[in-house]
Structures are given as structure tokens and as C-alpha cells.
Structure 1
Amino acid sequence: MSGRRVLVTGATGYIGGRLAPRLLDAGHSVRVLARDPGRLRDVSWSDAVEIVQGDLEVPGDVRRAVEGMEVVYHLVHAMAAGGDFSAAELAQARNVGAAARAAGVRRIVYLSGLHPEGERLSKHLASRVAVGEALLACGVPTLVLEAGIVIGSGSASFEMIRHLTEVLPYMPAPRWVRNLVQPIAVRDVLHYLVAAATVPDEVHGAFDIGGPDVLRYGQTMNGYAVEAGLPQRPIAPLPVLTPWLASQWVNLVTPVPRAIAMPLIGSLLHDCVVAEHRIDAIIAPPEEGLTGYRRAVQLAIARERAGDIESSWRSASAAGAPSDPLPSDPGWSGSTVYEDARERETAASPEAVWRVVEAIGGERGWYSVPLLWSIRGIADRLVGGVGLRRGRRDPRRLRVGDTVDWWRVERVERGRMLRLRAEMKVPGRAWIEFAVEPAIDASNGSRYRQRAIFLPSGLAGRLYWWSLVPAHHVIFEMMASRIVAVAEEEPA
């Protein structure tokens, strides 16, 4: 079947930002509606889609976006705005439904949430159900896919699991941590969404989708702990912790905003598991099978494990895997990353600065407070680390894989960038990166940039970083100044 003309609303969101490029790969022509098209500026696929600026609450904007489309994906949720988000979501859905019917759209696709039948639902789930019902009633063939917790870096539900598990060695939690959930990997959600564009026109209704594992919510936290290399967390159910109090707690100990945490926590008051498998007759599961929870977590944290942490000074290319973070993801998504960044303008040439950078460590030292470096090296040796004794292979040149004291060369772009990965004993993973480039006017001098990066492991990692902030300020400030000063002293 030839590609269809597709509109994606919510392309700056978590699911929409991953769906748009996959629809392009499937041969469809894609248009996206965004209130702020600037948020799509840095994604790799923005030049391949038609971007329409508009607001779903303005009927004229919606009609303009829907005109000429065959399929409309409605992937916008308003809970991040707080307040009466359910009224806003319902108004948006009615605008989409009316515009789609008037434009002769062949299919609407909506991603809703798994929910039990016959129970009083949380505000969040009730809003999802109401939106789905409004779209199903609009007169256009509609496919509502009802999914549980979506597992992928950047998903609000997954980020809440990630940060709660990493920050808290002991988890006081409400009774509903024992409720059942059926997580689904983001790659599997996208599989169903892409296939939904070409299902037969007579398909109309709501269908459950979910991964192969049914878990208690507490088990999702400890499953994450295992994959992240953390001890499993004791969880103590507390009968007095209401959803409101729990959302305040989540807001306090994680970067997930309270406006998002509260509706998500409200949804956990119910068992949310797949009740029927009718979707299998419409869309077959992925050929390799649905992704288990632990495997989905592995994929979500694989980017950080590989050290690909957006740590180059140049803009990274957009992520290719659906579990990877995107430029349009919210700032609180992804693993916690601490950094200390310094920058200097200097009259020294880029070549002179690079010679100093490439000779760092070993006999040359680290250009800052030798006593502190020695103490840190001794401490590392005492706990079984490598300390400062390894030195370096060549006093002037480095190549990938070389050791430099307790660091290992991870990347070299000769004359431009050097990245070292720490092999000392720390509760997390650490890098230090040096970059050299011509001055802005490119006529004289250069710009030196330096960044230390730390990915903490659990609460111990966070405490480690914050305890060293004063020392880091002295060490890294002096390092940047001394490297530039040494380069300026070099003869031309």
C-alpha cells in the first residue's frame, strides 16, 4: 500500500517526536502541528516534514492542519499544564474530531491509557477515556490504543521510576505500590502506532496493548535497580500516604514536576493490565516479540552506559533508537548528569593550546593543586583503584585506549577535542573533556573549553558530587587558567 498523508499532533512530545521519523521511514508523507515549531529545530527529521504552527484549542488552526490529510494521530496531553487539564484535553479532541470529519480524514489514531472497567478512575485516566470516547464518536474511523506505563528514556512514567529508585535507598510508599501494572517498551508502542496508519477502514474501537510482563509497581522499581547496577530498594507500604502527599514527595526527591507526578500517581490507584488481546487480529506483534520489562529498561539506559551522554561540544545527531533522548524531550527527562564547565578566550593559537592539552597528566601533572590530586590518587589506591601511578604511554601524544593516570582516552580528535573516562573508584561514572577551536573572529587566538561530567549511581553518587563541589571549583578553575597560561608562554 502506498504511503498516506499523515498529520501528527504532539510531535514535540515524547511519543510524537519518536513517531514522526518512523512514519517517514514507512513511506508516509508527514505534517506536524506545533504551537512552538522552534522546539523541532534541532531534530534530524524536521526538514523532511511539513510543520504547521497552530493551537489545538483554536478550531481554525486545527482545520488548516487537517486539510488534505488521510490519517490524524492525536498525541497531545495537557496534564503538564496543571489546572483543569481534562477540560482542555476534551476541547482539543472535539476540535480534532470535527475538523477530521469535515476534511474527510480516513483514520484517527489516539494513544490512551490502560484502565480497569467499572471502577471510579483517577482524573488522569478518566480524561484519557473521555478523549478516546469523544474521538470514537466524531464520525471518523478511530483506533484508540490503550497502553500502560511506557518504558523509555524521557517517558514521564519511566523517569519517575528511574529517579525514585536512584535517589532513595529506602522507599516509603503508599499501599498501591503493590498494585499490578503491565509496562510496554516505547519501541512496541511505536510498532502499533506506525501500523495503525494502514489498518482497514472498518476498524473502529479501543484496544489494549501491553508488554509481556505483569508486575507490581514496586517490582518495576527494583527491576530498574538491578539493570542500573544498584542494590534493590526495601519498600515499605504506608497507609497514610495519599496521592497528593505522594506527589509532593516525588516532586521533592525527583526532577519530575508535581503537575505531572500527581496525575500519574493517581493512575496507580488501579491495577492497569491488559484485559483483552483483540489487537492481535488487527496488528500483529513485532516479529521479534514484545519487549520484556527488564530488556526495555536496558535499552532505556544503554545510551548512558555506553558513555554517549551528549558529551561532545558539538551538537549530537538526533537519536536513532526510540529509547534515546531527543532534543524536544523535557529538561527533567533522562538520567541525572552533573557537570562543571569552564571556558577561556586566549591569544595563544589553537595549536599551542592543543599541545598543552594533549600532554596533560603523567609527569606534566594536571595544572592544578598537585597536593589535592595526590591525595585523591592515594585514596583511590586505598579502596582498590588504580591511583595516579599509571602515568601515560607517550609524554606528548595520545590515542584512543591510552591510559593517563586514572583516566583512559575515550576519544581524540587531534587538534580539536580530547575526552577521558575515569577509571577511579567512584559511585558513578565520570569524564573530563577538553576542546580547542579558533577564536570567534578566526583571525587571532583561540577558545578553550573544559568540562567535567559525572553520572551518579544512586544516592551515594549524588552525595559524592555535592561533597566535592567546593574542591571541584578550585581544581577545575585553576586547571583552565593554567592550561591557557602555559599555552600563552609557549614560543610561537
Structure 2
Amino acid sequence: MQERVLVTGATGYVGGRLVPRLLEAGYKVRCLARDPSRLEGRGWEGVEVVRGDVLDPASLEPALHGVGPAYYLVHSMATGREYQERDRAGAAHFREAAARAGVRRVIYLGGLAHGDETLSPHLRSRLETGEILRAGPVPVTEFRASVILGSGSLSFEVIRYLTERLPVMVAPRWVGSLCQPIGIRDVLSYLVKALEHPESSGRVIEIGGADILTYREIMLAYARTRGLRRRIYTVPVLTPRLSSYWLGLVTPVPTGVARELIEGVRTDSVCSGASALDVFPEIRPVPCAEALRQAVASLEEQRVETSWTLAFSPASESADQAVFLRDEEGLIVEERRLRVDAPPEKVFGAVSSLGGDNGWYYADFLWKWRGFLDLLAGGVGMRRGRRHPTLLRPGDPVDFWRVEAWVPPSLLRLRAEMKLPGRAWLEFRVRPEGSESSWIIQRALFDSRGLAGLLYWYALYPIHRIIFSGLVMAIGRRAVRNGRTCQVGTRGV
């Protein structure tokens, strides 16, 4: 019988793809998650989920009990400022807890870079995390990966948006930096195969793809994959700050994260030796063109397992501050009810398809305008879209919302991640009415932050009234396809 494996960071991009591969290989998997609800609906049969946080040492003991190997796939960059200190603290807590629990080995995925003096804070933090983990008594296999290409990966999405949206690109000098892009499938192969290669324990292994390219060459390779004609010109005047604003406007990446990325790509990211091939001769990473082709195919076939946005939260709100509504005390609540001649499954299908390329069914231009204003204010805007056109999971982004609860066919609750003087939710409940009818209960909830929040809510109330009334009606029409609705009621609290 295979031993139990712990995966931290299972709600993130790599961790969310690693778990099913470990299950396929026959391992028993346990996941550590700050919010276990974000792993609901994954279809991971037999996976044990333990609530915990690497920043909370007491929560690590039950997660590590009885574990052989443990994957450390945690990174705090998306949580905002001072993430380096959180990374250091989390790694130290995990190192000590793993030693006390008798963990056999730790497998860590970090970033590939050389030269301490020129490293960005992001890359330096990735290397420091590995150093802290290796300082303990538990042997560590540290993989240092170059740019990871896969459907939904941060690097791939930046390349995709820049290339798709800009036929002619005036780019900063960092597009000439060298890297060794590696496909996500090859990264996962290394992570899983490490369990079968004990000689990888206690080593730092640099992993990259078959090609060494500049970022400019990668974007042109993407253009060829998509049959696009693109021109890229470099200029020396774009500073990292200006570049981050440019990247934030054109791609879904928030400006703060973009700045960290740009600081990082100014440093070459190329493997310095053949250690990966020596330890894992059975893994032959694919060329960049093939990794791009696989990523594009997954997008076109709607087979995106995970997305970088799953791990992103605005800097103003860390993940442990997420609010789960249990009562309405202190909240402004605007509720609408609509009876429709359609069964709950059809109604919930219409609700679950909101956002992304599907739009918001009513006054879509106003939603886009709100997203544009949020973008100007430094928020996420409407650019993130959604992972799948009809299916959702807790933790999924939907434009400037995030799925807080998704329970088919009865409940969808979205938490706002735009810039606001407070916190807001949009909730839909579907209740059966007989055998062929349903009630839609739509609630907009707002937790005001002081007087500014109250002024914001009531100033926008006339617009909200129009938008939300039209939205619930449009959902009903889409559900029944013939527009028959009745018994509409509105209640403000």
C-alpha cells in the first residue's frame, strides 16, 4: 500500500493539478487548506482535507501526522505587501512541524534564478524559502523551475493576453531576457516522479524545457501557434513601474503582481546543469512550441483544470479574512424574488453561467464600465473572466467576483473583489416551487466601512436597482427561454 502524501497549496495552480496525478499514481493524498470549502467539487475521491495554515504552527500537527512525503507549494506573493516575511515564517513553521511529525522528506517547487545581487524580491523569496526548508533535519528535494507554461498559468496568461491584444507591441527591454520555459505537464511529472527517485532527496534540481528563448521569442511562438502576425519593438525607457502599469492595463494581472513579475524577468532564468536529466532520465521536457500548443488546446477544449487566479486575493484582503455570511446583522441587504416556470436545474444553470464571455445578461456595458473604473482604482477589473463557461467551484474567479459558495442546484454566492469602501456579496438561491417552477432569490449584501461606505451604497442605489432588477429578470428569461415570469418582489433591509 502506498504511503500517505501531504500537499500544501492544493488550492493553487500547481497543487490543484498535482493532487489528481498523485491519485492516479496510487498514492493516498491529504491536503492542507486554510479554507477547505475551496476544494469542494474537485471530484478527488478519497482525498482527506485538513484545515490549517503554515502561518499557524498548531494547525500543522494534525495535517502532518502519519505523512511520509510532503509537498510544499505555498507562496504568499498574492497576499500583498510583506509577503517575503510571511514566506519565511511559513517555511520555518513547516520545517519544524515536519521534523516533529517524522516526515520522511519534503518536496518544494521554487523559482529558477542565479546571482543574489540582481534578484527581484519575488525570486529571492522563492530561494530563501528553499534555504529555510533545507536547514531542518528532514531531507528536501527542491525543484527550481523556469517559466511554467500551461493553460491558466500566470506566465502563459500574460503571454497570451499581450500577444492576442496587441498586433504591434512596443515592449521594454526585459522581453530580451533569457528563460527556459517548461510545460506544466513536465513540471507535474518531475513532482510525482520524485517520489520514485530516492536519490533526488537532499538535492536542488533545476528544471526547464527543451529550448532557451527570450520572452520576445516566446510571444512570437505563441503568435505562430494561433496563426497571428505580430511585431514587437523594444524601447529602453519603460521602467519596471511603468511596465507594470502597462501590463496591468493589457492583461488580467494586477499592477502590484505585475511589478513583482517584471522585476523577476529582468534576470535570466536558465538551467546551469543537467542534474534533472541525470536523476530523471525518463522525463524529456517538450519544446516551447509544444507546451504552447498543449495550453492553447486545453483552452479551446475548455479543459483548464486550474488557473493562477485561484490563488490570488487582493492585497487589501488576505484569504483568512474571507467572510462567510451566517447572519445579516449590520449588513445592508437588498433582496429580489422571482418565480419562473422552469425547474431548479435550469434556473441554476443560468445563474452559474454568469460572467466571463457569457456576460451579465442585462446592461452588460454597465458591468464593464464598473470594471473599468475598478481597474483605474488599482483593482482587478473585469479581465479575469472565468475558468469554465458553465461550471464553477468555490474559489473560482468570475470577473471581479470570487465564488464563495457553489451548491448545485440551490446556492451561488459571489464575494466582490473590486475596490470598495466595505465588503460586498451577490447571492442567488434557487428553491423549487412544485415540479416545474422555481423561485430565484437574489440578494445584494454590503458591509459598509464607515460613512464613506454608506455614502457609496446609497449614491449607487438607483443604478443598482436598475441593474439587479434587470439581472434577475434576465436570468429567469434565460432559464425558461420564453420570458414568462411573474410575482416579482423587492425588499431592502
- Would you say same fold, with TM above 0.5? yes
Note if 1:162 corresponds to 2:160.
yes
Contact 1:12–1:39 (CA under 8 A) maintained in structure 2? yes
Residue 361 of structure 2 is matched in structure 1 by none
Q: 1:253 to 1:72 in 2, by over 3 A?
A: same
Contact 2:145–2:208 (CA under 8 A) maintained in structure 1? yes
Contact 2:476–2:485 (CA under 8 A) maintained in structure 1? no
Q: Distance in 1 between matches of 2:264 and 2:99?
A: 31
The counterpart of 1:303, out of the listed 289, 298, 315, is 298
- One-letter code aligned to 1:303: S
Contact 1:141–1:201 (CA under 8 A) maintained in structure 2? no
Match of 2:50, SS? strand
Residue 57 of structure 1 is matched in structure 2 by 55
Displacement, 1:120?
2.2
Contact 1:348–1:487 (CA under 8 A) maintained in structure 2? no
The counterpart of 1:151, out of the listed 146, 149, 152, is 149
Match of 1:191, SS? helix
Q: 1:72 to 1:78 in 2, by over 3 A?
A: same
Displacement, 1:275?
0.8
Which has the higher mean CA deviation after the structures are superposed, 87-96 or 294-303?
A: 294-303
Q: Give identity over the alignment, percent.
A: 42
Match of 2:433, SS? coil
Q: 1:137 to 1:349 in 2, by over 3 A?
A: closer
Q: Distance in 2 between matches of 1:85 and 1:349?
A: 47
Q: Could you list the per-position Cα deviations for residues 250-300 of structure 1 after superposition, in whole angstroms to 9, with x for gaps in the alignment?
A: 1112111223222211111111111111122222243xx322111111111
Displacement, 1:227?
1.4
Q: Distance in 1 between matches of 2:54 and 2:199?
A: 25
Note if 1:251 corresponds to 2:243.
no
Q: Could you list the per-position Cα deviations for residues 464-486 of structure 1 after superposition, in whole angstroms to 9, with x for gaps in the alignment?
A: xxxxxxxxx9xx99996995169
Q: Could you list the per-position Cα deviations for residues 397-417 of structure 1 after superposition, in whole angstroms to 9, with x for gaps in the alignment?
A: xxxxxxxxxxxxxxxxxxxxx
Displacement, 1:327?
7.9
The counterpart of 1:326, out of the listed 285, 289, 306, is 306
Q: Could you list the per-position Cα deviations for residues 367-419 of structure 1 after superposition, in whole angstroms to 9, with x for gaps in the alignment?
A: xxxxxxxxxxxxxxxxxxxxxxxxxxxxxxxxxxxxxxxxxxxxxxxxxxxxx
Contact 2:111–2:127 (CA under 8 A) maintained in structure 1? yes
Which has the higher mean CA deviation after the structures are superposed, 66-75 or 295-304?
A: 295-304
Q: 1:120 to 1:483 in 2, by over 3 A?
A: closer
Contact 1:40–1:328 (CA under 8 A) maintained in structure 2? no
- One-letter code aligned to 1:15: V
Contact 2:152–2:307 (CA under 8 A) maintained in structure 1? no
Note if 1:11 corresponds to 2:10.
yes
Q: Distance in 1 between matches of 2:31 and 2:270?
A: 31
Q: Distance in 2 between matches of 1:38 and 1:482?
A: 31
Q: Distance in 2 between matches of 1:53 and 1:486?
A: 45
Residue 441 of structure 1 is matched in structure 2 by 433
Note if 1:269 corresponds to 2:266.
yes
- One-letter code aligned to 1:302: A
Q: Could you list the per-position Cα deviations for residues 5-62 of structure 1 after superposition, in whole angstroms to 9, with x for gaps in the alignment?
A: 11110000000000011111111111110001111112111x4211000111011112
- One-letter code aligned to 1:140: V
Q: Distance in 2 between matches of 1:100 and 1:56?
A: 11
The counterpart of 1:279, out of the listed 276, 291, 308, is 276
Q: What stretches of structure 1 move > 4 A for 4+ residues in a row? A: 343-350, 444-448, 476-483, 485-488
Residue 368 of structure 1 is matched in structure 2 by none
Note if 1:20 corresponds to 2:25.
no
Displacement, 1:243?
1.4
Q: Distance in 1 between matches of 2:309 and 2:159?
A: 17
Residue 400 of structure 2 is matched in structure 1 by none
Q: Could you list the per-position Cα deviations for residues 141-175 of structure 1 after superposition, in whole angstroms to 9, with x for gaps in the alignment?
A: 11100111101112111111111111222222211
Contact 1:123–1:263 (CA under 8 A) maintained in structure 2? yes
Q: 1:187 to 1:103 in 2, by over 3 A?
A: same
Q: Distance in 1 between matches of 2:338 and 2:311?
A: 27
Max radius of gyration: which structure?
1
Match of 1:330, SS? helix
- One-letter code aligned to 1:295: E
Q: Distance in 1 between matches of 2:290 and 2:105?
A: 32
Which has the higher mean CA deviation after the structures are superposed, 147-156 or 109-118?
A: 109-118
Q: Distance in 2 between matches of 1:153 and 1:480?
A: 30
Displacement, 1:329?
5.1
Displacement, 1:125?
0.8
Displacement, 1:217?
0.5
Q: 1:56 to 1:486 in 2, by over 3 A?
A: closer
Residue 66 of structure 2 is matched in structure 1 by 68
Number of aligned residue pairs: 347
Residue 230 of structure 1 is matched in structure 2 by 228
Match of 1:265, SS? helix
Note if 1:260 corresponds to 2:257.
yes
Match of 2:211, SS? coil
Match of 1:48, SS? coil
Question: 1:289-300 alignment to 2 at 5 Å?
Answer: 289-300=284-295
Residue 239 of structure 2 is matched in structure 1 by 242
TM-score by length of 1: 0.64
Q: 1:329 to 1:48 in 2, by over 3 A?
A: farther
Q: Distance in 1 between matches of 2:311 and 2:28?
A: 30
Residue 389 of structure 2 is matched in structure 1 by none
Displacement, 1:85?
0.9
Contact 1:346–1:484 (CA under 8 A) maintained in structure 2? no
Match of 1:161, SS? helix
Q: Distance in 2 between matches of 1:66 and 1:477?
A: 46
Contact 1:224–1:297 (CA under 8 A) maintained in structure 2? yes
Question: 1:447-458 alignment to 2 at 5 Å?
Answer: none
Contact 2:11–2:311 (CA under 8 A) maintained in structure 1? no
Q: Where do 5+ consecutive residues of structure 2 fail to align?
A: 314-336, 345-429, 441-470, 487-493
Match of 1:301, SS? helix
Q: 1:169 to 1:27 in 2, by over 3 A?
A: same
- One-letter code aligned to 1:246: S
TM-score by length of 2: 0.64
- One-letter code aligned to 1:230: L
Displacement, 1:347?
4.6
Note if 1:97 corresponds to 2:95.
yes
Question: 1:63-462 alignment to 2 at 5 Å?
Answer: 63-117=61-115, 119-200=117-198, 203-232=201-230, 234-286=231-283, 289-306=284-301, 308=302, 319=303, 324-326=304-306, 330=310, 346-347=340-341, 440-445=432-437
Q: Could you list the per-position Cα deviations for residues 328-382 of structure 1 after superposition, in whole angstroms to 9, with x for gaps in the alignment?
A: 953999xxxxxxxxx99655899xxxxxxxxxxxxxxxxxxxxxxxxxxxxxxxx
Q: Distance in 1 between matches of 2:215 and 2:308?
A: 28
Q: Distance in 1 between matches of 2:164 and 2:287?
A: 21
